[in-house]
A = this chain, B = another copy of it.
Amino acid sequence: MIISIIGGTDGLGKWFARYLKGKGFDVIVTGRDVEKGKKVERELGVKFINDNIEAAKKADIVIIAVPINVTEKVIKEVAPHVRDGCLLMDITSIKEIPTKAMEEYANKNVVIIPTHPMFGPSAPSLFGQVIILTPLERHKNTEWFKKVYNFLKKEGAKIIITTPEKHDRIMAVVQGLTHFSFISLAYTLKELNVDIKESRKYSSPVYELMLSIIARIIGQNPYLYADIQMFNKRIGEIHKTFINCCLELSNVVKNKDREKFVKIMKEAAKHFGSEAKRGVYYSDKAIFALTNELNRLVDMIGEEVAIRNIDSNNVHFGILKGVDGDYLILDKNGKLEKFNVLRVEVFDGEKLKELKKRYLKRIYFDVSVLLKDNVDENTILDLLKSKFDIEIIDVYKGENIEKGWKSVTFRIFGYKKDELREKEKEFIKIIKNIGGKLRY
């Protein structure tokens, strides 16, 4: 099956190209920039074509993944060339405009599934991600629809099926109001020339969370965010309502109308109903998790830990020396290294053992032990595993072995010679205490 992704050299289009290629599909991508296209071709092992119409003609599935502001234009160009019986999709954050355009310009026998993946290109997979589909009724009983639905289901996506109108109405709030208010807040902090870092010293968890949401939003692709505001017909009303609420509340404050302020707050709380409680719980959990993590780290000071950088995936081993504001200090064999506490995961206990096994070169020594013939060496091994990283590599009876005894050879692993020497002493002591004797 051939999938053509129109605008597949960038952003979420490229993400889907990589994902679908990984799932075994033949993927074609198009894009305006030939050089970039060639690079993506090499990087993902897909085919790049510098011609949207040719790509559409060749494919069983055509996915429109261009920026919102040119989506309508590109659909008009491409849709008529999607072959009868094939599937046409888009992955734009708005749904009324592209749905209408695809229905208008595609052939009658093309199945159309307008799609809004509610995630960005940093998502690791479809697992747990929300995907919204807004097909017209006539497409819902098609084989294509079932195929797409089952594929997404299998990948673990949370699928929502609704109409383009309802989608845009809800998104005007979920994305529209959220982005608008936080970009306005960011703009305000800049206009007021607030020193963000300094202000955080005085901060409550709520202020810290607000800053972090602002930071998340202003770090995204600004063109995408502009288009989400500009191409959703329902955004204007949302802006107006929000600004009017701000103006009214500001006037209430100016007039020192305490009772009116209280009424607004109480009525808003009432509108939230049980969701208010849920929200408090949710943020409690988030704040609790962050505080908890910090307490856990402070408790680990002086201990051996593994630090995984969640960007590079590199794992570092050493002794945790300290936690200083946003930074961790790790002692790596006497060399101190700093890590951003918000950018790492820190492990001790079983997980530390597991990571050492995976990333560090293990060394070992073998030791042969005589155990009574009727002893079950696996019961012994099981007990020893609580103390050592240990395996049995040989069990031997017969020649050269005293009658009524057997020879069991254990292999004990470690990471440093000194450490292994200590382990050896401990092992011998234990073995002598549980009825064994050294063979040599």
Contact = CB atoms under 8 A, between A and B. Distances in A.
Given A212-B280, A275-B215, A285-B290, A245 B191 contact: yes
A265 B218 contact: yes
Given A201-B160, A230-B253, A289 B291 contact: no
Contacts of A285: 289-290, 293, 342
A204 B197 CA distance: 27
Interface stretch (A33-41, A329-337, A373-381, A416-424): A373-381
Interface in A228-272: 229-230, 235-236, 238-250, 253-254, 256, 258, 261-262, 264-269, 271-272
A262 B433 CA distance: 74
Interface residues of A, number: 127
Interface in A178-231: 178, 180-194, 196-204, 206-219, 222-223, 225-227, 229-230
Contacts of A265: 183, 186, 218, 222, 225-226
A118 B245 contact: no
A183 B375 contact: no
Interface stretch (A4-12, A144-152, A169-177): A169-177
A250 B258 contact: no
Nearest to A239: B250
A415 interface: no
Contacts of A435: 372, 434-435
A128 interface: yes
Residue among A209, A223, A282 with the most chain B CB within 10 A?
A: A282
Contacts of A229: 253, 261
A297 to B, nearest CB: 12
Contact of A275 (B196, B206, B213, B384): B196
A283 interface: yes
A235 B253 contact: yes
Give the number of times this chain occurs in the complex, counting copies: 2
Closest 4 CB pairs of A and B: A215-B279, A435-B435, A386-B386, A289-B289
A330 to B, nearest CB: 18
| Interface of chain A: mostly helix, strand, loop or mixed | helix
Interface in A280-323: 280-287, 289-291, 293
A436 to B, nearest CB: 8
B199 A174 contact: yes
Contacts of A180: 246, 249-250, 253
Contacts of A202: 118, 130, 132, 160, 167, 170-171, 174
A429 interface: yes
A118 B201 CA distance: 11
A343 interface: yes
A261 to B, nearest CB: 4
Contacts of A125: none
A236 B249 CA distance: 11
A1 interface: no
B342 A281 contact: yes
8 contacts: A186-B268, A209-B209, A214-B272, A218-B269, A235-B253, A243-B247, A376-B429, A379-B430
A95 to B, nearest CB: 12
A405 to B, nearest CB: 13
Nearest to A271: B190
A286 B290 CA distance: 6
Nearest to A382: B387
